[in-house]
Structure 1
Amino acid sequence: MPTLPEPSGLTEVNRKLPDPFTFFNGTKVTTKEQWECRRKEILAMAAKYLYGPVPPEPDEVTGTVSGGTVSITAKAGGKTETFSASISGSGSVIALKLSGGIFPSGHKTLSFGSGFEGKIRNLFGLSEVNTNIANGWMIDRVMDVLEQNPGSGHDPTKVMVSGCSGCGKGAYLAGVFSRAPVVVIVESGGGGVANLRQAEWFRHGEGGSVWQCSDAKPQSIDNLEDNGICGPWVTSAARWLRSDPSKVYNLPFDTHMLLATIAPRHLVHFTNANGRNSWCHLGGTCEALSAWAAKPVWKALGVPERMGFQMYSANHCGASGSQTALAGEMFKRAFEGNTSANTDVMGILDNGVQQPVSEWEDMWIDWDMDTVLQ
């Protein structure tokens, strides 16, 4: 992996969405095996330019499972830390439940013991760690221990995370920075999946002339709250962008690529049209653009049915069962092995976006959306 320049060294202005199929050094991704390397490179860029240090995998993980108690020991270098997690309830699915998420009707609930963020920082000598990325790290450690204890009664292939609004941002980050088999993101907005380039175009560029929401321009990096439910969502690493949001055009990635790092795992992503109501500022259009631009990665890997996106029109975090039925279909596919479940969905409402979808490819894309990886 090449050495990434400091933010001041990112001088190229690219208003097109960066190509998920081209490495930072210009080499093309041509095989499925290469995607894993590209995925790690995207995560490294996100760590450097938005989220600060991301805790790596430990050198060694061991642990035990007793009923619903998971005990974890992690070693890195000469340091050792112990962690705990709890799995409660009944059902086969194990869910990290962030507020407002969407879950199967029968599931277990995953929670982590107190103080785990500080222990992660100590283990790797980090000055800070994003709360939601720490959640992702803990998901992986629980999965490590469940895999080591196959008779525990808890299936590591049936782990998921979900949340809405601020916790939609949390589910996005925990899903991106983990290997959770199923991720369900609901109305994450700015600081979540909302596309940084398009949001900047609406906020401070020519797109402002077509923005028709009554409440505010879309939430993005420069007007993102410092904290909130499941926050904060970025760390001090993002100060250079927050003080000069036009520099999002210098980023060698955007949120469509972070979303795509979930591939080839299962993803369900919802956003709200909110065409004219008071939650329009969450930027459903910008979420839809990122989902639309991420979908080609699942297609390129030959698993388009593992990624579904649906835009609906409802109160914030208040969609009905029919509007979120896609999640139930994905649960059938991912957790029950139902290969006929209808999950290969890209449901964008023409009257729910602030820029017509018909304009997206010409304006935002200069790479092959029909790439097939060998």
Structure 2
Amino acid sequence: MGIALTIAQESESGGTACWRLSDVENISVDGADTVQTAHEIVTENVWFSNEFEVFANETDGTQRLPFDHHMLAGMVAPRGFLVFDNLGYEWLSPWSSYGCMTAARTIYKALGVEQSLGYSEAADHTHCQFPVQDQGAELDAFVGKYLREEQVDANVFRTEANFTFDQTMWIDWDSPDLT
């Protein structure tokens, strides 16, 4: 038996957020950045190869990336993938994460399993502390459907921020029907 369900909790920059979108979301306020970008992550830790610095340190370098994190999320398909995010930490790029997972969901849609990618972005709570009252039912539904094989509705794709993401600005192709 393979992996039936992947769960990401507040991975955002370097995880469920797309680098291209984080660059757009980053608005300098008094010289300070508001979200973590690729440029900053390569100076903070060793999570990425040194080869990534070429894209991270060039102006508009992330626009030239041959891939972004929506494609990594798409590699989980058709299996269940549930993403939990937190609006309370602007630094972690909540809009970028929402937009990136919106784009990833088009991959799931092409495979006929759109609802297998769930996204839940809750209001401010302590970082990496799971807010059971806000997201517990969504977790239970995905665990029930993908790990216990229960016949439950696990369709969730929401943000409490009322973000919008104009896919036409980022996706210039139609999602094929691969079912």
TM-score, L = length of structure 1: 0.43
Pick from 150, 157, 160 the counterpart of residue 346 of structure 1.
157
- Residue 254 of structure 1 deviates from its aligned partner by 1.5
Letter in 2 for 1:332: G
Pick from 180, 186, 191 the counterpart of residue 9 of structure 2.
186
Matched residue SS, 1:256 = helix
- Asked if 1:316 is matched to 2:127, the reply is yes
What's 1:289 paired with? 99
Structure whose CA Rg is larger: 1
| Matched ranges for 1:58-73 at <5 A | none
- Asked if 1:238 is matched to 2:52, the reply is yes
Matched residue SS, 2:60 = helix
Quote the Cα distance in structure 1 between the aligned partners of 2:51 and 2:15: 16
Quote the Cα distance in structure 2 between the aligned partners of 1:245 and 1:182: 37
What's 2:21 paired with? 198
- Residue 245 of structure 1 deviates from its aligned partner by 5.0
Contact 1:222 1:245 in 2 (8 A): no
Pick from 151, 172, 175 the counterpart of residue 366 of structure 1.
172
- Residue 248 of structure 1 deviates from its aligned partner by 1.0
What's 1:221 paired with? 38
Deviation sequence 1:195-245 (CA, Å, 0-9, x none): 111111233xxxx3xx88xx8421121011532xxxx32111212123215
Quote the Cα distance in structure 2 between the aligned partners of 1:287 and 1:350: 12
Matched residue SS, 1:333 = helix
What's 2:74 paired with? 260
Contact 2:56 2:62 in 1 (8 A): no
Quote the Cα distance in structure 1 between the aligned partners of 2:87 and 2:157: 14
What's 1:335 paired with? 147
- Residue 335 of structure 1 deviates from its aligned partner by 1.2
| Divergent runs of 4+, >3 A | none
- Asked if 1:302 is matched to 2:119, the reply is no
Contact 1:216 1:280 in 2 (8 A): no
Quote the Cα distance in structure 2 between the aligned partners of 1:347 and 1:242: 30
Contact 1:312 1:319 in 2 (8 A): no
Letter in 2 for 1:196: W
Letter in 2 for 1:197: R
Instruction: Report the structure, 1 or 2, having the larger strand content.
Output: 1
Change (3 A) 1:323 1:262: same
| Matched ranges for 1:144-223 at <5 A | 156-157=1-2, 180-203=3-26, 208=27, 216-223=33-40
| Greater length-normalized contact order (CA 8 Å, ≥ 6 residues apart) | 2
Deviation sequence 1:163-218 (CA, Å, 0-9, x none): xxxxxxxxxxxxxxxxx332110111211121111111233xxxx3xx88xx8421
Quote the Cα distance in structure 2 between the aligned partners of 1:322 and 1:245: 42
What's 1:53 paired with? none
What's 1:273 paired with? 87
Matched residue SS, 2:20 = helix
Alignment RMSD, CA only? Answer: 2.1
Change (3 A) 1:238 1:367: same
Contact 1:200 1:245 in 2 (8 A): no
Quote the Cα distance in structure 2 between the aligned partners of 1:202 and 1:305: 27
- Residue 361 of structure 1 deviates from its aligned partner by 2.2
Contact 1:305 1:343 in 2 (8 A): yes
Quote the Cα distance in structure 2 between the aligned partners of 1:303 and 1:194: 21
What's 1:84 paired with? none
Change (3 A) 1:255 1:318: same
The count of corresponding residues between Structure 1 and Structure 2 is: 174
Change (3 A) 1:243 1:334: same
